[in-house]
Amino acid sequence: MSFLIDSSIMITSQILFFGFGWLFFMRQLFKDYEIRQYVVQVIFSVTFAFSCTMFELIIFEILGVLNSSSRYFHWKMNLCVILLILVFMVPFYIGYFIVSNIRLLHKQRLLFSCLLWLTFMYFFWKLGDPFPILSPKHGILSIEQLISRVGVIGVTLMALLSGFGAVNCPYTYMSYFLRNVTDTDILALERRLLQTMDMIISKKKRMAMARRTMFQKGEVHNKPSGFWGMIKSVTTSASGSESILCPSA
């Protein structure tokens, strides 16, 4: 009885996910196209529904919702359906769609679609040779053999797309954060730089004239000695430099 209740919950959630995927495909992905392929909509919606269901099963596993045997059964069933769609249905339909657009092969499109699918399966299977994913315990078309190759392709594509996005996104949207520098801004900054340079030169001239006046009066050679004389000289020099740097207007 508990298995039937759990199965009804999973089937209901799959129907809801399928409807959401169908609406998302119609309203967002395919809204600007007049020619609509219903097979593409069905494949997309089914893939979206089973992917969301697998994510839902992961959450149920963490929270302890549903029976463990029911979760395992639905997990394995969803995994088989996803592999069936990704490895068999989607490549075959892509090959069928490519052959259908070629007029010379239009009459024999089913045959050439099968040939394209067999070519894909050959390269898909040879992809696992460099990786340690072959095991004599599993069969040729077992879940472990298929999911390992799908994982290799998925991780590689995700790495390529994430690297491209990390480079392309700042390059594309950096212009929104940059300020347009006009000729007026450059001239204003040049004027401020010249004023700062003039101010520095004038203060250096005042400091040189003050040192010359102090040297002429003998203040440089007759410095007071002792601790109190050192403090007096520091306070005198501080007040003199303040009057040099901040002259009265």
pLDDT at residue 222, as a whole number: 52
Spell out the residues 6+ positions from residue 113 whose beta carbon is closer than 8 angstroms to its own. Answer: 92, 95, 96, 99
The candidate with the shortest Cα–Cα distance to 85, out of 129, 122, 39, 119, is 39
Q: Closest by alpha carbon to 43, among 33, 56, 29, 55?
A: 29
Q: Which residue has the higher pLDDT, 66 or 233?
A: 66
This prediction's pTM:
0.59
Residues 140, 52: Cα–Cα separation, whole Å: 28
Label residue 248 by pLDDT band (50, 70, 90).
Answer: very low
Which of 203, 214, 212 is closest to 243 using CA atoms? 203
pLDDT at 107: 77
* Domain layout of the chain by residue ranges: 1-130, 143-208
Rg (CA), the chain: 39
**Smallest Cα–Cα separation from 51: which of 26, 20, 5?**
20
Residue 1 has a pLDDT of 61
* Chain length of the chain: 249
pLDDT at residue number 86: 86
Residue 217: pLDDT over 50: yes
Q: Is pLDDT above 50 for 198?
A: yes
- Give the per-residue SS3 of 23-57: HHHHHHHCCCCCCCCHHHHHHHHHHHHHHHHHHHH
Given this model, what pLDDT does residue 140 score?
63
* pLDDT at residue 167 greater than cutoff 80: yes
Query: Which is more confident, 95 or 33?
Result: 95
Residue 249 has pLDDT above 50, yes or no: no
Residue pair 154/175 in contact (Cβ under 8 Å)? The answer is: no
- The overall average pLDDT reported for the chain is 79
Q: Give percent of the chain with pLDDT exceeding 70.
A: 80
